Structure 1
Amino acid sequence: MSGLEEIWNQSCENQNIPQELAKTWLNNVKTKYSTESHRIYHNLNVLNKKCDLLRAFGQSVQYSDYLAFAIVFQYYNFDLKTDCSGTNCAAFREFYNAANIDNIKLLDSVCYLLGDSSKTFSGNAEDILLYQDLDLIVLGSSSSEYKEYQQATQSEYSHLDETTYKKTRLRILETFLQIPQIYSVSCIGERFEVSARANIKQEIAELKN
């Protein structure tokens, strides 16, 4: 069973969601992430990897259903030319209503993680930190995986000309090097901080050539 299937099934079971509906929505998620041609990086393969990591780090860091659902719906709708946080909150709300969940803390907390700052988060602060760190783990991947990530990311920004892309990318990467720590959760930082900074420095050098 993949990490995605495991965390999805467990969270749905925790919320007493009927198995058939849980299965239908899991298929919806898989279809969304795997069939849209503009998803060069933000696809089902990456979602599975992120869920595998959540499952692995869950041995030492407790995570909630809030976090699990937010990770699944984080890029459910994906378009780099627009902010999809609202449509992703709407997608989760559609699932929430279809499943007849009666847990407003779950709804508000997931939407908060998805980008709706008007909502209140009811989980632990560690959930928020873990949510942010998991999205950045790719920065600390092996050099070959990082190169694939670079190429896929640039392909997703194909709507930008090369000069604009390089300026935008440099600004983001240089910001990471200015902060004391890229990762906030200790077990993630211990594993990925050094390699992330090395990868970022290498990419900055390439972009400046």
Structure 2
Amino acid sequence: MHLAADSTSLYGQLLRCYTEPHRHYHSQQHIHACLKLLDAVRSLASRPDEIALAIWFHDAIYDTHQADNEEQSACWAERFLREHHGNDAVIQRVARMIRATAGHDAADDADTALMLDIDLSILGASAEVFDQYDQAIRGEYAWVDEAAYRVGRAKVLQQFLQRPVIYLTPALRQRFEVQARVNLQRAIAALAG
């Protein structure tokens, strides 16, 4: 989905957000990769345009010093959709998808599950692509000293690895689950080394 022509100013605002200098992974490349995957699995979505909106907004606010980025991003999406006469049900669904990215561990509906799986697809990328992602995340947390980063990052990755399944949708689980577990185990071992 492309943002409508009458939302050019919003598109510009979002692009400015996704090109902020502190973003190494959570950038416009991440958004484009998510949208490309959504296009490939569009038939799995009940409301693909709403998933696309959630993708565009889900990392709009991104500051590694803060813990409420997803909430702020969801509020921005809600404000924009209300200002443009959005349907209340649509606003709630889009905001719920964005908020679900805070933990990536719960989905109330199939579209939210699909959106979360798309967002986490990087975990199941090839080893080379995953390693680039992992280095980019370190860049976003450059302000954290190495020892603290290793402990914190290992904890986050271990939480994904301990789940019965990382991917909530069968199609994306089949496509990414095995490689994601290999990548996560390797990354955790490297952080411990």
Task: Tell me which interval the TM-score lies in, with the shorter structure as reference length.
Answer: 0.7 to 0.9
Larger radius of gyration: 1
Partner of 2:80: 95
* TM-score, normalised via structure 1 length: 0.81
| Letter matched to residue 2 of structure 2 | W
Rounded Cα–Cα distance in structure 2 between residues aligned with 1:149 and 1:179: 21
Residue of 138, 144, 147 corresponding to 2:128? 144
User: Identity over the aligned pairs, expressed in percent?
Assistant: 29
Partner of 1:27: 12
The question of whether the paired residues in 2 share the 8 Å contact of 1:8 and 1:26 is answered with: no
Residue of 92, 98, 119 corresponding to 1:114? 98
Q: How many residue pairs are counted as aligned between the two chains?
A: 186
Partner of 1:52: 36
Rounded Cα–Cα distance in structure 2 between residues aligned with 1:138 and 1:205: 18
Residue of 2, 6, 13 corresponding to 1:8? 2
Q: Does 1:38 align with 2:26?
A: no
* TM-score, normalised via structure 2 length: 0.88
Partner of 1:79: 63
Structure 1: 5+ residue stretches without partners:
1-6, 13-18, 117-123
Q: Does 1:164 align with 2:148?
A: yes
Secondary structure in structure 1 of the residue aligned to 2:120? helix
Structure 2: 5+ residue stretches without partners:
101-107
Secondary structure in structure 1 of the residue aligned to 2:26? coil
The Cα RMSD (Å) is 2.0
Cα distance per residue 1:59-79 (max 9 Å; x no partner): 344434332211110011111
Rounded Cα–Cα distance in structure 1 between residues aligned with 2:160 and 2:86: 40
Secondary structure in structure 2 of the residue aligned to 1:59? helix
Partner of 2:105: none
Partner of 2:167: 183
Give how far 1:102 is off: 4.1
Secondary structure in structure 2 of the residue aligned to 1:24? helix
